[in-house]
Amino acid sequence: MRRITAFLLCLAVLFPCVLSAFAQGEGAALTAADALHASGEKIVNAAGEEVRLRGVNLGGWLIQEDWFCPADNGKRGDHWTLETLIERFGTEKAYELYQIYWDNWITEKDFEEIAGMGFNCVRIPFWYRNFQQDDNGTWRLDQNGQKDFSLLDKAVAWCRRYGLYAILDFHGVNGCQGAQDHCGQKGTFHFLDKTEQGEKYRAQALEIWSIIAERYAGEPAVAMFDLLNEPLCDVPLQQRDYKMLNAFYDDAYRAIRAKDPTRMICMMGTWDVGKLPRPSKMGWTNVVYQLHQYNSKIDGFQARLDASKALKYNVPLYAGEFHPTAETADSKVNCTVSDILTLYETEGVNWTVWTWKGYNSWAAWADWFIYGSVEDSLIVDPTNDSFDMIADKWGQMATDGGRFYSGHLDEEALPFLPDGKEPEPSADNVFEVFFKRIVRWFKMIVELIVVQFT
């Protein structure tokens, strides 16, 4: 009898835990009532209630950057990696390898866990080669012969399921909107050229946005369209044409409005909001202006934010990326991610931290990542690794596959979430949840010892 009583008591204690484990990530699915729009300096839902976006970037998923992704392209950009694989294996096989990567770097479990931590949105960087298999605009087609947007379809569906808002970020356009590798190719920037080719690049980007706008019209899980990531980044000052940039923004705004009249549209001027025109002058409504801030001192973050607010554009501000970073070799960083988030929370700025995960030998110790690795043995050499070797390496990149550990960014970001929780990968049973963190740290220590002595 005592055993039965004890068993029943255990069930009474564990049953709520079991329910919690199953329900943690499965938040309330988003509906039409959750659709967002800009109202003055705030983002609100259909009932007019303010919704502060506090989220995380899914950097490195649909467009790779070699400093934190498992591919060594010499910082030349994902374009070089893809073209190298196409040259070696052919277009179909190259995209087969990328599909393995896309299917593993981010999975549904990641979305579930992001929601379970308390974040309410994800920024999803993508580039034109997710949809087009060459630089001439040849579309990738699905099994029905239609233009293949399945990557975004899947991400948006997962966002809706787990109560997350999606910010769709055009991170890399054909012709390159900036000169850094994170837009696809380093050292080239022809997207805004006043040439026939420049016009073709811009037309190509407008077509992609038009298709996306029509595809997700009325979709409550999509918070906004982020038109261009860091345009004119690292372009020489004398070649930065903000007039051309704002003209493209106007064209994109009108192309999107023709398909989706209610969607928030996000624009950024690198690096100041003041590079963007007054929305009322352009006839723009329901827009969000974006900041990316990388400074060594909190005073620098404050000053740029003050300058943005002084413009009185009467639009919501959104910090899509930010991090304490030395501006020069002699600069000393004297602020933290927590300091920046304290500022943003005080000033009413929406934000997404950079980024969800990173793969290299120091990622688990860095405050750049929610999850990071402590190894780099699976970084792909696109020039020499065989097809099977690349497939094997990229097939081991799932966050819960034993190679990623809780990093330091979660320690900085989670306290600013209304329902912030320590990250816990999905477990097969409730008991595993209790021991997962201990196992993760033990494995990380063992791997560090192995790395040091091999």
Give the pLDDT confidence of 88-139 residue by residue, as tens digits: 999 999 999 999 999 999 999 999 999 999 999 999 999 999 999 999 999 9
φ, ψ for residue 432 (rounded to 5)? -65, -30
pLDDT of 211-262, one tens digit each?
999 999 999 999 999 999 999 999 999 999 999 999 999 999 999 999 999 9
Q: What is the pLDDT of residue 422?
A: 66
pLDDT higher than 90, residue 436: no
pLDDT higher than 70, residue 424: no
Beta strands in 87-140 (DSSP E): 121-127
Tell me the one-letter amino acid at 171. Answer: H
For the chain, how big is the Rg over CA atoms in Å? 22
pLDDT of 270-292, one tens digit each?
889 999 999 999 999 999 999 99
φ, ψ for residue 125 (rounded to 5)? -70, 135
The arithmetic mean of pLDDT across residues 57-62, rounded, is 98
CATH 3.40.50.300 fits 34-452, yes or no: no
Which long-range CB contacts under 8 A does 239-244 form with residues at least 24 apart? 239/189, 241/192, 241/194, 242/269, 242/275, 244/192, 244/194
What residues are paired with 172 via a beta bridge?
Answer: 127
CB contact at 8 A, 124 and 110: no
**Rounded CA separation 217/219 (Å):** 6
Q: Any residues with CB less than 8 A from the CB of 10 and at least 6 apart, and which?
A: none
Q: 156-160, 192-196, 206-210, 428-432 — which is least confidently predicted?
A: 428-432
